[in-house]
A = this chain, B = another copy of it.
């Protein structure tokens, strides 16, 4: 049975522990939060909470520490998102509104998020696969070299060089340009790839070879999942604040190098679905001491990527959750504006 007062006690324990980084005892608890009952009563509640696995005692005669299960209950039932201050809101909008291109948005977001939460922030670059083709440009550098530029709705630009077997004239290149753009403009990447594939056979036979070369490079650029896996990471220095070097900092520092690991940590959160993964709930046993607060972002209902913060399980969940959500909303809005 978990009654209201026990929940209050749990909340107090989590808040104190997050603030002090030290096991919290019954006496300190009633002093610092006006619980209105005696330490002995709190002790009884604590014993019950411990039986049910919400808190844990490092050793006899020590204070209590929340378990992952305790944090989970706290996040699910007890935490109210800490509202952002107006100063913080203003910081977000002025910084992000000043971003000039996609790279800039991502880099500024990651910086912002790490400063707001004083934690390590991760922002995934907008996924290529869900965006649409805005335009394809072909530039003749020499008669046999064409620069192919792929512009996507998210503002991402990919460019590749194509070597042709045979010289191509400006007029012919113009035909090719029109053909690929007609087939792909405004179309989602996946559909665009198949549309491009059918192009060489459908077009004038004289153009077929050139089209094949160009299409080959384009489909490769479109299917290039490297860009889906790009991440920006910031705020690593915040790790320095944490004491527990070996269990908390080192594994995380190692994970931060492995972008594949980070992508898995961010997971596939939906828009507006703020996901909190606490300690062992995550996919990596080495990261049993770290939590992830993440959410998806993207204009309207389109999920373009995820962003979030990672840190020790003992983190300020309400604050982190609020900051992550606020930044995600701003980024979504900005991507929407650039896209209209």
Residues on A lying within 8 angstroms of B by beta carbon are: 100-101, 104, 134-135, 137, 139, 141, 147, 149, 151, 157, 159-160, 224, 226, 234-237, 239-240, 245, 249-250, 253-254, 256-257
> Which one, B147, B151, B253, contacts A237 given CB within 8 A?
B253
B141, A147: Cβ atoms closer than 8 Å: no
B254, A240: Cβ atoms closer than 8 Å: yes
Shortest distance in angstroms between A303's beta carbon and chain B's nearest beta carbon? 24
Tell me the complex Cα distance, A19–B233, Å.
32
> Which residues of B lie under 8 Å from residue A147 when comparing CB positions?
135, 151
The answer to whether residues A257 and B237 also contact, given A157-B159, A226-B104 and a CB cut-off of 8 A, is yes
Q: In the complex this chain forms, how many copies of it are found?
A: 2
B235, A257: Cβ atoms closer than 8 Å: yes
A137, B135: Cβ atoms closer than 8 Å: no
A139, B137: Cβ atoms closer than 8 Å: yes
> Which one, B135, B137, B240, B254, contacts A250 given CB within 8 A?
B240
> Which residues of B lie under 8 Å from residue A236 when comparing CB positions?
236, 253, 256-257
Tell me the complex Cα distance, A131–B160, Å.
19
Shortest distance in angstroms between A211's beta carbon and chain B's nearest beta carbon? 20
> Which one, B134, B224, B239, contacts A141 given CB within 8 A?
B134
> Which residues of B lie under 8 Å from residue A249 when comparing CB positions?
240
Shortest distance in angstroms between A335's beta carbon and chain B's nearest beta carbon? 14
> Which residues of B lie under 8 Å from residue A160 when comparing CB positions?
100-101
> Which residues of B lie under 8 Å from residue A101 when comparing CB positions?
159-160
B237, A254: Cβ atoms closer than 8 Å: yes
A-B contact pairs, 9 of them (CB 8 A): A100-B160, A104-B226, A134-B141, A137-B139, A151-B159, A234-B257, A237-B253, A240-B254, A245-B245
> Which residues of B lie under 8 Å from residue A104 when comparing CB positions?
226
B151, A139: Cβ atoms closer than 8 Å: yes
Instruction: Name the 6 nearest CB pairs between A and B, nearest first.
Output: A237-B254, A240-B250, A237-B253, A237-B257, A157-B159, A137-B139
Tell me the complex Cα distance, A135–B239, Å.
44
> Which residues of B lie under 8 Å from residue A240 when comparing CB positions?
245, 249-250, 253-254
> Which residues of B lie under 8 Å from residue A239 when comparing CB positions?
253
- For the complex with contacts A157-B159, A240-B245, 13 further pairs of A-B residues with Cβ separation under 8 Å are A101-B159, A101-B160, A147-B151, A149-B149, A234-B257, A236-B236, A236-B253, A236-B256, A236-B257, A237-B254, A237-B257, A239-B253, A240-B254
Tell me the complex Cα distance, A231–B139, Å.
29
> Which residues of B lie under 8 Å from residue A159 when comparing CB positions?
101, 151, 157
Shortest distance in angstroms between A291's beta carbon and chain B's nearest beta carbon? 19
> Which residues of B lie under 8 Å from residue A224 when comparing CB positions?
100
A141, B149: Cβ atoms closer than 8 Å: no
> Which residues of B lie under 8 Å from residue A237 when comparing CB positions?
250, 253-254, 256-257
> Which one, B137, B226, B254, B257, contacts A149 given CB within 8 A?
B137
Tell me the complex Cα distance, A101–B101, Å.
19
Tell me the complex Cα distance, A160–B237, Å.
33
> Which residues of B lie under 8 Å from residue A254 when comparing CB positions?
237, 240
